[in-house]
Amino acid sequence: MTYTFDPLVPRPIDRPTDVALDGPLTPEQSLALDEAKIFVGPADPADRPAWRERLAAWRDDARRRHGYTGAAYDRPDAAWAAGCSTVAQVWLWDELLYSFAEHRFTPERFLADARERFGGLDAVVLWHAYPVIGIDDRNQWDFYRDVPGIVDLVRTFHDAGLHVFVDYNPWDVGTRRGDDDLTELAALVRDLGADGVFLDTLKKAEPELVARLEAARPGIVLEGESKLPVERIEDHSSSWAQFFADSPVPGVLRAHWYERRHMQHHVRRWHRDHSEELQSAWLNGVGVMVWEVVFGVWVGWSPRDAATVKRLVTVQRAARPLLLDGAWTPLAELAPEAEAAGVYASRWELDGVTLWTLVNRGDADYAGPLLARGGDDAAGAGGAAGAAGADVRVPGRGIAAALHVADGADEPAWLPHLRDVVASLDTSVPHDPDARFPHRLARRLDASASPSRSTGVTDPAGRGADVGQGGAEEVTGAPEPGAVVVPAGPYVLTVRYRARETGMYQGAPYVDEWKPLPPRLHDARTLQRDGELAAPVAVGADVTNAQFAEFVAATGYAPAVAHRFLAHWVDGRPAPGTEDEPVTFVDLDDARAYCAWRGGRLPTEDEWQLAAGQPGWTRGEPAVWSWTASEHSDGRTRFVMLKGGSDYRAEGSDWYVEGGRHAPDYAVKLLVPGLGLARGATVGFRCAWDLLTEEVTA
């Protein structure tokens, strides 16, 4: 049998594992179940009691074989992980978390949005390096340690009741080397006060890394990507249920069944419909990862799915004692009408309190009995269900809950508050069936509104720095001698790029795909761009250190954020022998200020490429990337197109920004960091001037 890869359907490795029900559990069957992501739920209700018995037998056998102790889950400082229902993966420079206008982090805005749409968060992964790492020799530790105020940001999240994960990239082997990874990561966790480590590309950490991290930060929580080996549930408190495909009749998550305190976070990063993973999380009593900006690409959650998360976490947080310590019956028996409609449930029982977590696999709302007539009485949680046998409502592709307190049993202390909260949700946030994707368009920014416009820099004509930048007000200063002239008129360009997860201009590169794999991941692509130049444009050579020093001396230029500004200079001057090299350690605003002083502006990416095809085009030495005026934002991600390439190349991983010199038609989409981190050793700039026709013919 051959397998043909289809990116829109789960791979065999992502599919759930069948559970054989005939005969005693064999060693071979037990080992096969060790490898499962999700255990297939049987379609026939008559098979489910035997299925549950088989899962319990496997768990007992696996714990015995692997010498399971559960000691890691008894650590007081790590107990929070078992109740971490929602974790958000967030790019440090997401414009919801960082303001480029104010040059500061805005966690208050980020948290308010999370409360409004998702019911708040329990943790965040502060993502830092990929996909900008490799643009120069900075390593993954630099992209954390060099961020001004990051310790305060972590503290702010802690004060708001969230826990913080940092990201570990084991593939970072070709950038600047410091101490070994174990030493660097342990020190980073300790210095930042991080609560957990997300293990990028790793299913698990090796025991030595686990021990080093625990010594640095007792109670540290490790979360691997994708399926965690069953024997390592012993020392990894959580894991990423990434690209896990469920069965038509919902199944059981293997790792969480093995250890109820092991928290998993369902995530399908490129999907626009999250209902299946949310339903699996709800039935299994686990969490979800909210990831709306995937490495600079907007994949926002629909109103329906965001509202489902809000309801899910509201109940999970309140009823966590039931979910952790109660008797769990997956695929609990329901009324035949509910079963026929595609409604399924898990039942959780503790001290006379019973909770049903319900999902509706169908598209139509279900309104009918929960349990077979004559079954136990049940009281609705927030109106989700009435007495047993009475009607319940489970929205299509949605979730619901029902709760019953047995006669004589104590009402749990958390129930009154939960009733109030769910009642308010029913009033203020009723189930929203709107599953439409909330599109965002990345738009070219008007650079005249740049935050650095208040620097007081003036151009030779005395017009100030508020001059147009490629698409804003035209600038007609005199170009530098030897500038290459691009004639006016229409043009058509072919642009080459590598299809990284950042995409290019609009949309996600892997919509509704499961795990993108080579050759689609990082494959070479081309696109066509066309436009028209209303007037000729002159594009100069790489601005040198000496030229930039002249600008600083003449204007007293000081950026709004000085961090890393001209970090390669010595005592405020270019190092001897580097005067004629391209200036680097400048960001977009620094470059714009210089160009405005020269009566020009930054060239757009198209102008840069058109000029590079004209006679007289030269490159400075060493070669550096060029900032362009093609800066964009979709309101969450700010990015700019770089041209040219540099002599620096980070070797050893496909996850690095592609280094080396490139042909003029090549472009890189670079996500723009804030607080000076956009300044680096390999990016410089050129200036452009809009010309009058007589200037070209003179």
Do residues 573 and 615 make contact, with C-beta atoms less than 8 angstroms apart?
no
Cα separation, 35 vs 285, whole angstroms: 21
Mean pLDDT of the region 275-298: 98
pLDDT at 698 over 70: no
C-alpha–C-alpha distance, residues 181 and 141, integer Å: 9
pLDDT at 681 over 90: yes
For strand 293-294 and strand 297-298, is the pairing parallel, antiparallel, or unpaired? antiparallel
What is the per-residue pLDDT for 469? 32
Which pTM was predicted?
0.94
pLDDT above 60 for 386: no
User: In degrees, to the nearest 5, what angle opens at C-alpha 683 toward C-alphas 679 and 685?
Assistant: 110
Report, as an integer, the average pLDDT of 389-403.
90
In angstroms, rounded to a whole number, what is the distance separating the alpha carbons of residues 231 and 433? 41
pLDDT grade for 696, boundaries at 50, 70 and 90:
low
Q: Please, which pLDDT band fits residue 463 given cuts at 50, 70 and 90?
A: very low
Task: Give me the percent of the chain exceeding a pLDDT of 70.
Answer: 92
| Banded model confidence at residue 697, pLDDT cuts 50, 70, 90 | low
- For 362, the 3-state DSSP assignment is coil
Strand-by-strand arrangement of the 399-405 sheet: 327-329, 343-350, 353-360, 399-405, 379-380
The reported pLDDT for the residue numbered 558 is 98
Q: If pLDDT is split at 50, 70 and 90, which confidence band does 464 have?
A: very low
Instruction: Give CA–CA dist 662/609, Å, rounded.
Output: 11
Q: What is the pLDDT of residue 380?
A: 39
So what's the pLDDT on residue 453?
Answer: 37
pLDDT at 645 (0 to 100) = 98
Dihedral sign of CA atoms 43, 46, 47, 51 in order: positive
| DSSP string over 280-331 | HHHHHT-EEEE-SEETTEE-PPPHHHHHHHHHHHHHHHHTHHHHHHSEEETT
Contact 381, 315 (CB under 8 A): yes
Please give the pLDDT value at position 448: 64
Name residue, tokens 């995530």.
267
| Residue 446: Cβ within 10 Å count | 14
> Has residue 41 got a pLDDT over 90?
yes
Q: CB neighbours of 501 closer than 8 A, spacing ≥ 6?
A: 131, 294, 295, 296, 297, 509, 510, 516, 521
pLDDT, tens digit, for every residue of 482-528? 999 999 999 999 999 998 999 999 999 999 999 998 888 999 999 99
Instruction: Answer whether residue 475 shows pLDDT above 70.
Output: no
Average pLDDT over residues 287-310: 97
State phi, psi for 113 to the nearest 5 degrees: -65, -40
* DSSP secondary structure, 516-541, as one string: --TTTTT-EEEEEEEEEESS-EEE-P
- The residues, ordered by sequence, that sit 6+ positions from 664 with a Cβ below 8 Å of its Cβ are 608, 609, 612, 613, 643, 644
What's the mean pLDDT in 115-144? 98
pLDDT at 2 (0 to 100):
76
Q: What is the pLDDT of residues 502-513, one digit of tens each?
A: 999 999 999 999
Q: Which domains does the chain have, with CATH numbers?
A: 1-267 (3.20.20), 315-438 (2.60.40.1180), 462-697 (3.90.1580)
With bands split at pLDDT 50, 70 and 90, how would you rate the model's confidence at 373? confident
pLDDT band at 466 (very low <50, low <70, confident <90, very high): very low
With a cut of 80, say whether residue 602 has pLDDT above it: yes
Q: Stretch 29-40: mean pLDDT, rounded?
A: 98
pLDDT tens for residues 147-197? Answer: 999 999 999 999 999 999 999 999 999 999 999 999 999 999 999 999 999
Please tell me the distance from the alpha carbon of residue 211 to that of residue 562, in angstroms, as a whole number.
39
What is the reported pLDDT for 77? 97
pLDDT tens-digit series, residues 404-457? 999 999 999 999 999 999 888 877 667 788 999 999 999 999 876 554 433 334
What number is the average pLDDT over the span 676-695?
92
pLDDT mean across residues, the chain: 92
